[in-house]
A = this chain, B = another copy of it.
Amino acid sequence: MPKRVDHEQRRRQIGEALLRIASTRGLQSATMREVAAEAGVSLRLVQYYFHTKEQLLVAALAYLAEQLTERVSASIRALGPVTSRTVVYGTLTAVLPTDEESVRLTRAYTGFYTLVFSEPEMALRHGAVYPDKLESLLAKHIAAAQEAGEIADDVDPALTAAALLALTNGLGSSVLGGQRDGAAALRILEDQLGRLFHARLSRPPT
């Protein structure tokens, strides 16, 4: 066999070119030709490694999920010792588009998310319901914090986890839509989180 090039590296190179386009010009302008130009390769090469555009999208989404989970765990680690509280804070703030990297990730992710609306069949062909895992993870840690007395007893962990995730997604959309900046969104999220944690302490019976 000739040309001993690393296939996986090439696929990554192309896949991340698509992500770069998705996070700047939007996923809808990530055409095969644009991706090829962004990756610095020929159109034929993109077709060679990904027989169809759908395959390319799926691979790129996998790379994106990889980057996202890495960012989330890094954000948790940065908050010091791993507690239920740091996991919840770290997870949600990592997803929120506050700095350049998270804006990039959120923009790309939103592109794929909206793609599901327009092409539901494609979403069915591949499993990948990422947020569901996050939600149960959050619910678990909320319940744990509840047992530790950091969260009021009458809080429903499942409902609250879903609410926090939906809140964060909604805030992210508003940031991307230019309605507010990342700092303002973070303030809103932290207000809600602060109200949830230590609810017993900060809420006197006045």
Q: Hey, which bits of chain A sit against chain B, CB under 8 A?
A: 26, 28-29, 107, 110-111, 113-114, 116-118, 120, 123, 129, 131-132, 152-156, 159-160, 162-163, 165-171, 173-174, 176-180, 184-185, 187-189, 191-192, 195, 199-200, 202-206
Which residues of chain B are within 8 angstroms of A28 by Cβ–Cβ distance?
A: 28, 118
Min C-beta distance of A182 to chain B, whole Å:
13
Give the complex CA separation of A23 and B165 in angstroms. Answer: 25
Contact B176 A117 (CB under 8 A): yes
Which residues of chain B are within 8 angstroms of A160 by Cβ–Cβ distance?
A: 191
A184 closest partner in B (C-beta): B162
Contact A129 B176 (CB under 8 A): no
Contact B113 A203 (CB under 8 A): no
A110 closest partner in B (C-beta): B117
Give the complex CA separation of A180 and B159 in angstroms. Answer: 12
Give the complex CA separation of A132 and B177 in angstroms. Answer: 12
Min C-beta distance of A64 to chain B, whole Å:
16
